[in-house]
Amino acid sequence: MRCRPILGLMAVFALSACALQPEPHSDGLPRLERPSEVLFWSQTEREAGFRAMERIAPHRTVAAGGDVRALPPGAPLDLDVDAFMEAEKVAGLLVLQDGRVRLERYGLDFGPEGRWTSFSVAKSLTSTLVGAAIADGHIESLETPITRYLPELAGGAYDGVTVRQLLTMTSGAAWNEDYTDANSDVARFFEPRETGGMDPTLYYMRGLARAAEPGTRWHYSSGETNLVGLLVSRATGRTLADYLSEKIWRSYGMERDAAWMVDAAGQEAAGCCLMASLSDWGRVGQLVLEDGVVDGRSILPEGWFDEATSRQADIGVPGMGYGYQWWTFDDGTFAARGIFGQMIHIDPERRAVVVILSAWPVATGNARSAARNAFLARVAAALDE
């Protein structure tokens, strides 16, 4: 198979599919001969593929274990969700309040035993591992220059860039995230190239130019989330999957193993593609509401989630901002979001978590987002009753 440059948020698949392609299978799952094809799968392929990505691209296990964190039933939420689930191709819908299940529904032949891919929802978990690494003493602070952990970046656009600026995507490094431009950075990022043994992410990112002084502008960059993941791995000496297992999946009591997609270098795709069950995605949201407290103490620095889920950068959209890899909203809610409709929405005022796993017919779209926002408003109103 000849690897080609790809477009869009799924650039992360290129190294995975080209260098670590799983054995062929004959169970009707879609193929990724060209990784960008995930953006153009048919609806049938999306619904089959999003629940089985670990059989299509290589993943590393995030082990669960120990006592499972209970999610006891609460009073059933008085909310008709059938039309929303059908229209938005929802595979899983979960509403927790005070850690109790107010609503849990499945569609698209998905069920409680299955796992669904996160796409960019994984970014918010990667940033949480930064907090854990600071609390553990592996990363000095948010103000530490990232070149202390990634010295290959010295002498380029990332000189003087801090951990905080990398988390908030305010590094100032030039980056083109145009999904329609075959020459954009996001399209060329994972092209096969000779790196002299250097990690391919570092090799590419160290060649970027500086477009603004660090900390002076927000600019979305998928490449920078991969740098965050490399930083955590370097600082801790652990794979992201193993560190996530230790700090959250085992200790908080996730019910099932998760799986995190890896690239040709064996590095987890820090900004994408973590597979987990609907209930375990709900537990992720509940952990955030509980300030990262596990066994009576927080795995994170004091006040971490207050900062991480608050506006740290102005993104130029009224009512929205960006925290530490979390999307923030002026009404006090915040969310982890991924293409094709993946979302963990957290509402601290109502002590609520809403998880939606979907196979939207399009990767992104204003109409889809508007329908989801209207549904979240209905959930909030039902919770207030």
Write b or e for each residue in 149-187: b if 16 or more Cβ atoms lie within 10 A of its Cβ, otherwise e.
bbebbeebbbeebbbbbbbbbbbbbebebebeeeebbbb
Q: How many helices (H) and strands (E) does the chain have?
A: 12, 13
Q: What's the DSSP call for residue 24?
A: P
**How much is the pLDDT for 5?**
29
Number of neighbouring beta carbons within 10 Å of residue 204: 19
Q: Which of 200, 237, 232, 277 is nearest to 126 (CA)?
A: 232
17 CA to centre of own chain = 19
Token pair listed for 325: 């890899």
- SS3 for 355? strand
pLDDT tens digit at each of 385 positions of the chain: 333 323 334 444 433 333 333 444 446 787 766 555 777 789 999 999 999 999 998 999 999 998 999 999 999 999 999 999 999 999 999 999 999 999 999 999 999 999 999 999 999 999 999 999 999 999 999 999 999 999 999 999 999 999 999 999 999 999 988 766 767 787 777 666 788 888 888 999 999 999 999 999 999 998 999 999 999 999 999 999 999 999 999 999 999 999 999 987 889 999 999 999 999 999 999 999 999 998 889 999 999 999 999 999 999 999 999 999 999 999 999 999 999 999 999 999 999 999 999 999 998 889 999 999 999 999 999 999 9
Tell me, what's the pLDDT at 201? 87
Q: Which two tokens stand for residue 318?
A: 């009224």
Q: What is the pLDDT of residue 41?
A: 87
State residue 34's pLDDT score.
54
Q: How do the residues of the chain divide into helix, strand and coil, expressed in percent and rounded to 5?
A: 35, 15, 50
Q: List strands edge to edge, sheet with 258-261.
A: 59-62, 258-261, 274-276, 116-117
CB-based contact 91:276 (threshold 8 Å)? no
Cβ neighbours of 137 (radius 10 Å): 8
Beta carbons within 8 Å of 328's beta carbon, 6+ residues apart: 309, 310, 311, 320, 321, 322, 334
Tokens of 252: 């908080």
H or E stretch including 103? strand 100-106
* Residue 355 · residue 364 · CB < 8 Å: no
Instruction: Provide φ and ψ at 337, rounded to 5°.
Output: -135, 150
Q: For residues 121 and 106, give the distance between their C-alpha atoms in angstroms, rounded to a whole number.
A: 19
Q: Which tokens sit at 253?
A: 């009591």
Euclidean distance between the first and final Cα of the chain, in Å? 57
- Per residue in 185-205, pLDDT (tens digit) is 877 776 667 888 888 889 999
